[in-house]
Amino acid sequence: MLIDEYPQLLGDITKGKRRINPSLSIRLGDALGIDESFFAVLQAYYDIEQQKKKQTQHEHPNLKLLRPVLFWDTAINSINWAKSKTSVIRRVFERGNEQEIGEIIRFYGEQEVQAILAQLSNRSSILENNIQKYLR
């Protein structure tokens, strides 16, 4: 496959260090036998997703009220609170203390928390007890 670009450029693109410009999109499309605009559209979707991440980066609960050990399997600062809200709510209601549960209810809103918890299957007894204690 000949696209007349340095291999390092493709490496930089896959690492998110460089963008796919329209000229490269055309050459990649021709070389791979697909629509010339495919990679340009893919780049646009990537750019939109990156912008969404930047905009929601500062939207998070008060992290001073949440123990990092509650999210032992990930860095608490890297959590996408919007995308992971079901997991976050479940985790906090199963393992959190009163302060943490209160902060999650404040952040997401009581109605949203109730709606998400209502959809959960395989509820533990601790989860059920905390639902009764904090939401009813």
CA 120 to chain centre: 19
Q: Residues 30, 4: contact at Cβ < 8 Å?
A: no
Contacts of 83 (CB under 8 A, 6+ apart): none
pLDDT value of residue 10: 87
Name which CATH class applies to 7-56: mainly alpha
pLDDT value of residue 50: 87
| Summary mean pLDDT of the chain | 92
pLDDT value of residue 59: 86
Residue with tokens 């796919």: 20
The residue count for the chain = 136
What residue ranges do the domains of the chain occupy? Answer: 7-56, 63-135
- 82 vs 73: CA distance, rounded Å: 18
Is 56 a residue whose pLDDT tops 80?
Answer: no
pTM, whole model, 2 decimals? 0.66
Mean pLDDT of 20-48: 94
Give the angle subtended at the CA of 21 by the CAs of 18 and 24, to the nearest 5°.
100
pLDDT value of residue 7: 86
pLDDT value of residue 130: 96
Q: Helices marked H in 33-135 — which ranges?
A: 38-56, 85-95, 98-108, 110-119, 125-135
Mean pLDDT of 3-7: 85
The pLDDT tens digits for 86-126 are 999 999 999 999 999 999 999 999 999 999 999 999 999 99
